Amino acid sequence: MSGFLILNGLVNGIIVGVLYSLIGCSLNVLYGVLRVVNFAHGEFLIVGCFFGYVLFETFGIHPLISVPLAAVVFFAVGYGLSYLLMPRLSKADDPETSSFLMMYGVSLMLGAGMLMIFEADTRTLDFRFEPISVKIGVLYVPTARLVALAVNLLVVGLLTWFLYFTLYGKALRAAIMNREAIQVVGVNIHRLSAVAFGIAAGLAGITGVMISLVFPAFDPFAGPDYTLIGFIVIVIGGLGHPIGAIVGGVIFGLTEQMATVFLPQAMAPIVGFSVMILVIFLRPRGLFGKVQQR
C-alpha cells in the first residue's frame, strides 16, 4: 500500500472529520439543552448550502463572506423557531419522542420547499480559489478544503471558548447537566433555550456553506444523509456533549476516509457504522457521555 495514499487519506479524513464535528456539535447543543431530537438537521445544512449558492450566483458574494451572514441569519431563524415550536413541545409527556415527530415534519417541509424553489437538479457552488491546490509535502490539497478546514477549526475554537469562558456558555453547559437546577438559581430557561436553538441553527448554516465548498455537489434530497452522519457522530462522542461531538466527528471522518484507501469505496459507510456499533457495545453512552439519571 502506497504511503502517499495513506497520507492523503489521513489529510482528507481530518478535513472531513472536522466538518462532521460541526454537524454533531449543533445537534448536541440542541439535544443537551432542549432534549430536542432534530431530525431536520440535515435539511438545515442543505438550506445553508443553497444560502451560500444563491448569495454567490445571484449577488456575487464571496463564500467566506457568506459564512458570518449565514451564522447571523440562521441564528435569528433558530431563535424565532424556538419561541414558535418549544412552548407546545415543553408540555408534552415525552418531549424527546414528540420532538422527533415534530422535527421530522419540519424536515419534510424544508425538503419540499427546497424542491419547489430549486427543483431536483444537483447544484454546484462554482467558485474557485487561487491557486486551486496547495502542495503540502508530497500532497496537493485543494485550496477549498484547506480554507474549509481553517474556517471549521476557527468555529470549533470559538464554540469551545463560548461554552467554557462566557456566562451564556457556562449556563448552556449547566443546562445540559441539570436543566431543573439552573432554574432554581434564577436562569431564564426559555431565553437560554432560544439561544441554544439559535446557536444550533447558526452552526448548521455555517456548516452548510462549508459543505458546498468541500463536496462537489448538493441537492434538496441530501438532508437525511447528513442527519444520519450527525447522529453517528454524537453516538460516538456522547449524546449531549458538544466537545465529545468534535472527537466523534474526527474519528468518523478518519475512519471513513481511511476505509476508502484500504477497501472499495462502497465499504466506507459499512466501516463507519461498524465503529459506531463497536462504541455502543464497549461504551453505550459514548466516549464522553455520562450516565443520565431519569
Q: What domains does the chain contain, in order, with CATH numbers?
A: 3-282 (1.10.3470)
Sign of the dihedral defined by the CA atoms of residues 258, 259, 263, 268, in that order: negative
- Of all residues in the chain, what percent carry a pLDDT higher than 70? 96
pLDDT tens, position by position, 152-172:
999 989 988 998 888 888 888
- Strands 133-136 and 139-142, sheet pairing: antiparallel
pLDDT tens, position by position, 93-143:
777 778 888 888 899 999 999 999 998 888 998 888 888 888 887 788 889
The single residue listed with the C-alpha cell 463497536 is 278
Across 260-285, average pLDDT: 85
What's the confidence (pLDDT) of residue 294? 43
The single residue listed with the C-alpha cell 469505496 is 265
- Average of per-residue pLDDT values in the chain: 86
Helix (H) or strand (E) holding 134: strand 133-136
* Maximum Cα interatomic distance, the chain, rounded to a whole number of Å: 60
The single residue listed with the C-alpha cell 438550506 is 47
- With b meaning 16 or more CB within 10 Å and e meaning fewer, what string describes 125-134? beeebeeeee
Residue 19's Cβ-side half-sphere holds a number of Cα atoms within 13 Å equal to 29
Res 1 pLDDT > 70: no
Strand partners, 55: none
More confident residue, 3 or 259: 259
Which of the four pLDDT bands, split at 50, 70 and 90, describes residue 293?
A: very low
Rounded CA-CA distance 34/111 in Å is 24
What's the confidence (pLDDT) of residue 251? 92
pLDDT tens, position by position, 168-206:
888 888 877 777 778 777 778 788 888 989 999 999 999
pLDDT tens, position by position, 29-76:
887 777 778 889 999 999 999 999 999 999 999 999 999 999 999 999
What's the confidence (pLDDT) of residue 98? 81
